[in-house]
């Protein structure tokens, strides 16, 4: 198959036997649930655009395994150009969905696992890389959406995994058998898990020798026996149950997060890519985090483009578009957004080949990119809310607008400039609300802070990668300081 259509993707999800809980109830058909479906539509866009000749160069790539055309989300980066195209693709999808399209985490996971398993085999004589390549080949042939699962609940952050009161607060090996391993635990904040075909699990932190049972990486079908999900609550999510579309802000697209629970799940050895090799866990975490921090220089920028456009429209509809301070705020929003993009492109252009042959970004610049993402989208959102005005969070509902009794009153008093309907003014304000405060906030505002690691995680990596001692030597040389 190699490239699925959007319709084939949706049909493939219907064949899976997910066990999903949402608001305390088991969901019978996740694909059709009104709260979940918009997030599935976002993933469908990754399949739809890959079929469009206009976007072929960004959305597809040539497999290094088979020479066939594959979806870029299933591809191992073979050059710095691939890394650049990844960021451009992510910006495009952010522009098309104004939401999280969820496949980035799996793409980043396969690229990290590839190079680390290769290096493990080189040092240990294991066959993890061969196993991984078999999985990757099938992923490419079937055009799977794969959820990269790294973040554990963690429990008491002052304690290592093996010292937790409850061992399940980190995914761990419960039993080793002749035919495979048994794992238990959970992964939290799992982006797009319920829209995925497979799960690729990685350790969440660098493990020590006391944590060998937690140094585990493997893949499993997303609907495997013993895996179930608790759907994450989002702000304004029940608006999707009301039947309208204005109050939702973005009716068609969205993102989702879920708690993924492993209740004594069997993993055959062919699907195990790390089993106790704790000394390689740190490299896997570092590389995945680097790739994922690069991703934010694309996806958040695309959503930012939509938000900037919405703010500009709000200014038009409010009759404030000619005010100098509004123009300046829009310029600032664009400046911040393009700075994020520049970082994403820079860390890609400075990428280099790993021992396995795939390309990795410049880790320092990727962490700088994500550090900026923890700040700039908040300012972009603040400026959008400033331009939109207070009506964004105080206006009546769509039902009030449609009401035979009071609809004309809403129409009269919430109109802006002549020539623009009250409905269209409400639509653009609700879109801004959705991106900055509502369900899309998980794919833009709050995720900008915590996705791919919280701000301090990037600062630690910047300190590690920044080569301060070399900078001291540069200063000594210029100042004429000779070491005695």
Pick out the residues of the known binding site for FAD: 191
* CA distance linking residue 235 with residue 434, whole number of Å: 9
* CA distance linking residue 345 with residue 324, whole number of Å: 31
Q: Does the active-site annotation cover 219? A: no
Q: Does the active-site annotation cover 191? A: yes
* CA distance linking residue 401 with residue 448, whole number of Å: 34
From the candidates 97, 151, 191, 204, give the one annotated as an active-site residue. 191
From the candidates 197, 292, 343, 359, give the one annotated as an active-site residue. 292
Q: Does the active-site annotation cover 343? A: no
Q: Does the active-site annotation cover 292? A: yes
Annotated binding-site residue numbers: 191
From the candidates 10, 398, 433, 447, give the one annotated as an active-site residue. 447
378, 302 contact by CB (below 8 A): no
Q: Does the active-site annotation cover 100? A: yes
Q: Rounded to 5, what percent of the chain is helix, strand, coil?
A: 55, 15, 30
Q: What is the DSSP string of 37-97?
A: HHHHHHHHHHHHHHT-GGGHHHHEEE-TTT--EEEGGG----SHHHHHHHHHHHHHHHHHH
Q: Does the active-site annotation cover 119? A: no
Main-chain dihedrals φ then ψ at residue 180, nearest 5 degrees = 160, -160
Main-chain dihedrals φ then ψ at residue 191, nearest 5 degrees = -70, 125
Q: Does the active-site annotation cover 104? A: yes
Q: What is the DSSP string of 306-368?
A: HHHHHHHHHHHHHT-TT-HHHHHHHHHHHHHHHHHHHHHHHHHHT-EE-TTS-EE--HHHHHH
DSSP label at residue 151: -
* CA distance linking residue 266 with residue 180, whole number of Å: 7
From the candidates 214, 291, 296, 341, give the one annotated as an active-site residue. 296
DSSP label at residue 250: S
Q: Does the active-site annotation cover 257? A: yes
* Enzyme catalytic residues: 100, 104, 191, 257, 292, 296, 299, 447
């Amino acid at each position: 198959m190699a490239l699925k259509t959007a319709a084939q993707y949706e049909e493939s999800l219907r064949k899976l036997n997910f066990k999903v809980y949402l608001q305390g109830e088991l969901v019978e058909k996740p694909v059709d649930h009104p709260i979940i479906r918009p997030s599935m539509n976002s993933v469908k866009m990754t399949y739809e655009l890959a079929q469009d000749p206009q976007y072929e160069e960004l959305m597809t790539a040539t497999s290094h395994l088979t020479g066939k055309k594959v979806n870029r989300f299933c591809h191992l980066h073979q050059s710095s150009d691939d890394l650049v195209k990844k960021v451009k693709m992510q910006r495009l999808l952010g522009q098309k969905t104004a939401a999280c399209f969820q496949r980035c985490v799996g793409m980043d996971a396969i690229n990290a696992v590839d190079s680390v398993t290769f290096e493990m085999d080189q040092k240990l004589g294991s066959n993890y890389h061969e196993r991984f390549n078999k999985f990757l080949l099938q992923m490419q042939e079937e055009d799977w959406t794969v959820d990269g699962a790294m973040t554990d609940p963690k429990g008491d952050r002052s304690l290592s995994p093996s010292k937790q009161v409850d061992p399940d607060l980190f995914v761990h090996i419960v039993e080793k058998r002749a035919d495979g391993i048994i794992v238990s635990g959970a992964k939290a904040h799992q982006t797009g898990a319920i829209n995925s075909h497979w799960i690729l699990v990685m350790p969440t932190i660098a493990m020590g020798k006391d944590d060998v049972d937690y140094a585990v990486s493997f893949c499993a079908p997303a609907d495997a026996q013993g895996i179930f999900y608790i759907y994450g609550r989002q702000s304004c999510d029940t608006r999707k149950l009301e039947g309208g579309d204005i109050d939702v802000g973005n009716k068609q697209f969205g993102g989702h997060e879920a708690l993924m629970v492993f209740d004594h799940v069997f993993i055959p050895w062919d699907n195990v890519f790390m089993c106790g090799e704790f000394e390689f866990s740190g490299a896997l975490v570092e590389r995945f985090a680097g790739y994922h921090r690069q991703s934010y220089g694309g996806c958040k920028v695309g959503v930012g483009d939509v938000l900037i456009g919405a703010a500009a429209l709000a200014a038009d509809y409010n009759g404030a578009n000619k005010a100098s301070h509004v123009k300046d705020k829009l310029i600032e929003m664009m400046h911040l957004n393009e700075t994020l993009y520049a970082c994403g492109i820079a860390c890609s252009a400075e990428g280099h080949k790993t021992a396995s042959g795939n390309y990795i970004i410049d880790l320092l610049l990727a962490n700088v990119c994500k550090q900026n993402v923890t700040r700039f989208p908040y300012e972009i959102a603040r400026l959008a809310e400033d331009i939109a005005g207070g009506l964004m969070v105080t206006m009546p509902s769509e039902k009030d607008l449609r009401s035979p009794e009071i609809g004309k009153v809403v129409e009269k008093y919430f109109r802006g400039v002549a020539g623009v309907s009250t409905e269209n003014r409400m639509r653009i304000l609700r879109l801004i609300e959705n991106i900055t405060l509502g369900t899309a906030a998980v794919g833009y505002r709050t995720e900008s802070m915590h996705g791919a690691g919280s701000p301090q995680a990037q600062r630690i990596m910047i300190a590690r990668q920044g080569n301060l001692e070399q900078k001291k030597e540069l200063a000594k040389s210029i100042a004429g300081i000779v070491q005695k």
